[in-house]
Chain A
Amino acid sequence: MLKSTFVGKSVPRKEALSKITGAAKYIDDLSFPGMIHGVTVRSPVARGRLKKISFEGDLPWNEITQVTAKDIPGENCVAVILKEQPMLVDGMINHPEEPIVLLAHPDRALLEKARKNVKFEIEALPSVLSIDDALSKKAVVWGSDNILKSYLVEKGDISQAFAEADLIVEGEYTTGAQEQLYIEPNGMIAVANPKDGVTVWGSLQCPFYVHKALKTLFGLPDDKIRVIQVETGGGFGGKEDYPSLIAGHAALLAWKSGRPVKIIYDRAEDMAATTKRHPSRTRHKTAVTKEGKILGMDIDFVLDGGAYLTLSSVVLSRGTIHAPGPYVVPHVRIKSAAVATNTPPHGAFRGFGAPQSIFALERHLDVVAARLGLSPEEIRRRNFIHQGQQTATSQTIKEPVDFDKLMDRAFEMSHYHSKIKRFEIENKTSPIKKGIGFAAFMHGSGFTGSGEVYLASVAGVEATSEGRIRVLASSTEIGQGKNTVFAQIVADALCVDVGLVDVAQPDTSVVPNSGPTVASRTTSVVGKLVEDAAKGLQATLRQSGFLGESYTSAQFQEACLVYLEKFGSLKTLSQYKAPPGIFWDDEKYRGDAYGTFAWAVYVAEVSVDTRTFEVKVDDFVAVQEIGRVVNPLLAQGQIEGGVIQALGYAIYENVIWKDGRMANNRMTNYIIPTTMDVPRVQVHFEEVPYAYGAAGSKGIGELPMDGPAPAVINAIAHATGGDFKHIPLMPEDLMRILT
């Protein structure tokens, strides 16, 4: 057993100082000799046929680089899962803001004028703008039925549950879109020419996604494409797939103009054109006994995918698997679908489908409890899943899971029971109604089903000629703390000082493909590869005889240098292997959906002013079991930040749609929480080391996005007696429902 010196400690963020002093270079801080600027001209309509493009006005068009679909050297597509989305419109327009023409010039003011003088002749076609329109086939905009992807999960026999039930409770719940609003807008710089190929630098999460997209777009071999991630000002999933488009656009302009091209989105463009959280609709039909035992859940879960498939099939998959929650239910049927609409494609956003279906379930269970005359607490306690029991996909939970303990802890920290009593008395005489609510939930670590096996990620470590250790992985630092956590894991695996470990900048020409930075997989899954590679490097050094059984950091460095001197290089790689006994059936959608889950109970306390309908979240408790905590300070930061994003999702952030386009695409009218709106989040970790995660860790990044919305809405329902079925719950909705 390794002794852990750094894992478990709040080692300060590696790149903290450069960020704090403003020295860190983000994409817009970089400039290349001869670089010019690029802009995107986009569709003004939701759906139509593009007839003609004209370049009008008294402008020096011959000086302005112009790119349209016909300039694409390879395939006109954004290669992600399928190749269905064009890089530039060629004929059919499928959503507002769809890119049609690219322009580049050194003078940004001139470019703005030019952008306004590109005119389109478009034959408008009927569009589909909501889940209902899509399902009723108001128009058919995808395949024969507007269904991008569907799943069916079955366990037991749902009709038997309904036959045996004492009570059947139905409910429909909906969630709105959520804008990413990373504070750094998207941006890329490209250098591209037929001789050297294509190189891009950018704000992005997944270097090898961009690599694949560029390879296809230009029809070039792997080694002619290079993608480098620079300091990235927030991602949250929003920089998972969309950066492939921007990289493609910048590269096409660079290819044609022969000069480096920078594209930086302004805020309005970023909000209108790039991906948001999928809107959803969930219908529950739940069979229960009068004692509160859940016999069956019949769930119909639908996501609005937007105009192209992009990542919707995998978002839908996670939402589907998380829909029945951490409960053991003998009979389950989940039918789910992602539908096509003529809005910009919705994409990955922290939680990835789970926040939507978890909101529906955790809200619904409060309703079921009330119908049974039980407390919200009792109905959950009677149905929590335990070690050895099976989830809806028939996955047997192998590790210990103790939800009663998590709940006890969360209720103790929030003074849940005493507050329920107190509020009941105080609310009688006050116009400000107080309430307390909670949610119990889980989040699967890493890719769903066989995803990790298909990815077959590789990561490594090497010794450098300065006698330092360098971690090699394409996983990106987007604020979550990857650099620091990897350094801690490697330092402990090698028994050296954490200061000796560097983490390579993700550059596809230098690092192996450790997979995308998504799905709460970086610390636990990629960290494990890095840890194994480090142990391999240590074993190599020992076998060479240069390293003894025990050693100091300096002796380790010395051994590396001697080895390098003799053999030239010292590098070990490690590839993903599924933990033993994992089985997933893609056809039946059954089996071990995730290697493991993180488990949590979150409690929210609110005050609702019944005169102004304003809601304030006064207290928030987040209790979770995430395996071993590698870095408590960073882990708390993930939880606190995720909870506050999710509070925004619940009660502040309202995307207003007009003809398939976000109408309030500005920070002045799309409101996220500020310092004045947030409670102090009390964070508590139960630590149960997970045998197959790096240093015992599980995934953490997305978990805090799942629980706050239902906890807050349940608290508002508790305070007011209202029946709320939709988020965001805005003051005007509260007024409508309560008066």
Chain B
Amino acid sequence: MKPTHFVLNGKKTEIASPPMSRLLDVLREELHLTGTKEGCGEGECGACSVLIDGEVVNSCLVPLAQVEGAEVRTIEGVIEDPRFKVLQSEFVAHGGAQCGICTPGMIVSSASLLEKNPHPRRDEIENALAGNLCRCTGYSKIIDSVEAASK
């Protein structure tokens, strides 16, 4: 099988899985990066959010072949980025995580927002997180967390 090459969390990676494998499965099963979660498998919940060349995508919908030559960042990479440490502390302080299954996806989407727009308004945060579903928090504390991180 022809390997796929991409940069994963800053490291050159080569993986010889079938090109139509879901990126989500490759990350979780081949590369043991289980911080990216599966909530629906059909692009609706955002639990599987990763960044491909800086854009948020649902990794359950992305075939491996699509990331050839791309830069992929997962939650494991995002939280190591000093720019986003503040997201961690603010999600803790503002109660942004309850059961936590949506949280890595929320952090990834928030990081992408802050990268493009360091001081978003509340409605801009709501917009950026509209594709990430949470069944526990009712969202306010997640939005509070992101808002605090952007101050």
Interface residues of A (CB under 8 A from B): 10, 12-13, 15-26, 28-29, 180-185, 231-236, 266-267, 478-481, 633-634, 636-637, 640-645, 666-668, 672-676, 678, 680-681
Known contacts A232-B99, A233-B100; is-contact A21 B79 (Cβ 8 Å): yes
Known contacts A21-B79, A675-B143; is-contact A16 B97 (Cβ 8 Å): yes
Question: Is the C-beta of B117 less than 8 angstroms from some C-beta in chain A?
Answer: no
Most chain-B CB neighbours within 10 Å: which of A18, A23, A28, A675? A675
Given contacts A22-B37, A479-B99, 12 further A-B contacts (CB under 8 A): A13-B95, A20-B88, A22-B33, A22-B74, A22-B76, A232-B99, A636-B141, A640-B138, A644-B139, A667-B40, A668-B44, A674-B133
From A479, which residue of chain B is reached at the shortest CB distance?
Answer: B99
Question: Is the C-beta of B8 less than 8 angstroms from some C-beta in chain A?
Answer: no
Q: Determine the chain A residues whose CB is within 8 A of the CB of B103 once the complex forms.
A: 19-20, 22
Complex-state Cα separation, A342 to B118, whole angstroms = 54
Decide if B42 touches A20 in the complex (CB within 8 Å): no
Q: Determine the chain A residues whose CB is within 8 A of the CB of B47 once the complex forms.
A: 183
- For the residues of B in contact with A, the DSSP-based class is loop
Q: What are 18 contact pairs spanning A and B, CB under 8 A?
A: A19-B97, A20-B100, A21-B75, A22-B33, A28-B38, A180-B135, A182-B99, A183-B45, A183-B102, A183-B134, A183-B135, A184-B101, A233-B100, A634-B95, A642-B138, A644-B138, A666-B44, A667-B40
Decide if B40 touches A13 in the complex (CB within 8 Å): no
Question: Is the C-beta of B126 less than 8 angstroms from some C-beta in chain A?
Answer: yes
Decide if A16 touches B99 in the complex (CB within 8 Å): no
Q: Which of B33, B74, B79 contacts A20 (CB 8 A)?
A: B79
Decide if B98 touches A267 in the complex (CB within 8 Å): no
Decide if A12 touches B93 in the complex (CB within 8 Å): yes
Complex-state Cα separation, A233 to B75, whole angstroms = 17
Question: Is the C-beta of B66 less than 8 angstroms from some C-beta in chain A?
Answer: no
Q: Determine the chain B residues whose CB is within 8 A of the CB of A673 once the complex forms.
A: 138-139
Q: Determine the chain B residues whose CB is within 8 A of the CB of A24 once the complex forms.
A: 100
Shortest distance from the beta carbon of A662 to any chain B beta carbon, whole Å: 15
Known contacts A183-B47, A184-B37, A640-B137; is-contact A26 B129 (Cβ 8 Å): no
Decide if A637 touches B34 in the complex (CB within 8 Å): no
Residues 101-141 of chain B: 1 if any A CB is under 8 Å from the residue's CB, otherwise 0?
11110010000000000000000011101111111111111
Decide if A20 touches B130 in the complex (CB within 8 Å): no
Decide if B92 touches A13 in the complex (CB within 8 Å): yes
Q: Determine the chain A residues whose CB is within 8 A of the CB of B141 once the complex forms.
A: 633, 636-637, 640
Known contacts A20-B91, A681-B138; is-contact A667 B44 (Cβ 8 Å): yes
Shortest distance from the beta carbon of A156 to any chain B beta carbon, whole Å: 40
Complex-state Cα separation, A644 to B97, whole angstroms = 15
Complex-state Cα separation, A235 to B143, whole angstroms = 23
Decide if B42 touches A633 in the complex (CB within 8 Å): no
Question: Is the C-beta of B35 less than 8 angstroms from some C-beta in chain A?
Answer: yes
Shortest distance from the beta carbon of B55 to any chain A beta carbon, whole Å: 19
Q: Determine the chain A residues whose CB is within 8 A of the CB of B33 once the complex forms.
A: 22
3 closest cross-chain pairs (CB), A and B: A22-B35, A19-B100, A479-B99
Known contacts A20-B107, A183-B45, A672-B133; is-contact A15 B100 (Cβ 8 Å): yes
Decide if B140 touches A185 in the complex (CB within 8 Å): no
Decide if A479 touches B136 in the complex (CB within 8 Å): yes
Question: Is the C-beta of B59 less than 8 angstroms from some C-beta in chain A?
Answer: no
Decide if B98 touches A20 in the complex (CB within 8 Å): no
Complex-state Cα separation, A640 to B134, whole angstroms = 12
Interface residues of B (CB under 8 A from A): 28, 33-42, 44-45, 47, 74-76, 79, 87-88, 91-104, 107, 125-127, 129-143
Shortest distance from the beta carbon of A311 to any chain B beta carbon, whole Å: 21
Q: Determine the chain A residues whose CB is within 8 A of the CB of B135 once the complex forms.
A: 180-183, 234, 236, 641, 645, 672
Q: Which of A181, A233, A637, A676 contacts B126 (CB 8 A)?
A: A676
Q: Which of B35, B91, B98, B130 contacts A674 (CB 8 A)?
A: B130
Q: Determine the chain A residues whose CB is within 8 A of the CB of B133 once the complex forms.
A: 183, 667, 672, 674
Shortest distance from the beta carbon of B79 to any chain A beta carbon, whole Å: 5
Complex-state Cα separation, A645 to B134, whole angstroms = 10
From B98, which residue of chain A is reached at the shortest CB distance?
Answer: A479
Shortest distance from the beta carbon of B88 to any chain A beta carbon, whole Å: 5
Q: Determine the chain B residues whose CB is within 8 A of the CB of A481 once the complex forms.
A: 98
Decide if B92 touches A16 in the complex (CB within 8 Å): yes
Q: Determine the chain A residues whose CB is within 8 A of the CB of B97 once the complex forms.
A: 13, 16, 19-20
From B141, which residue of chain A is reached at the shortest CB distance?
Answer: A637
Q: Which of A22, A185, A640, A675 contacts B130 (CB 8 A)?
A: A675
Complex-state Cα separation, A634 to B76, whole angstroms = 26
Q: Determine the chain B residues whose CB is within 8 A of the CB of A182 once the complex forms.
A: 99, 101, 135
Decide if A184 touches B95 in the complex (CB within 8 Å): no
Shortest distance from the beta carbon of B11 to any chain A beta carbon, whole Å: 17
Known contacts A12-B93, A20-B88; is-contact A233 B137 (Cβ 8 Å): no
Decide if B100 touches A640 in the complex (CB within 8 Å): no
Complex-state Cα separation, A235 to B135, whole angstroms = 10
Complex-state Cα separation, A13 to B125, whole angstroms = 23
Decide if B136 touches A267 in the complex (CB within 8 Å): no
Shortest distance from the beta carbon of A498 to any chain B beta carbon, whole Å: 14
Shortest distance from the beta carbon of A718 to any chain B beta carbon, whole Å: 23
Decide if B126 touches A267 in the complex (CB within 8 Å): no
Q: Which of A13, A22, A642 contacts B75 (CB 8 A)?
A: A22
Complex-state Cα separation, A681 to B138, whole angstroms = 9
Known contacts A20-B88, A634-B95; is-contact A643 B138 (Cβ 8 Å): yes
From B38, which residue of chain A is reached at the shortest CB distance?
Answer: A28
Complex-state Cα separation, A266 to B97, whole angstroms = 23
Decide if A267 touches B75 in the complex (CB within 8 Å): no
Decide if B101 touches A233 in the complex (CB within 8 Å): yes
Decide if A185 touches B39 in the complex (CB within 8 Å): yes
Q: Determine the chain A residues whose CB is within 8 A of the CB of B100 once the complex forms.
A: 15-16, 18-20, 24, 231, 233, 479
Q: Determine the chain B residues whose CB is within 8 A of the CB of A675 once the complex forms.
A: 125-127, 129-130, 132, 139, 142-143
Complex-state Cα separation, A480 to B33, whole angstroms = 26
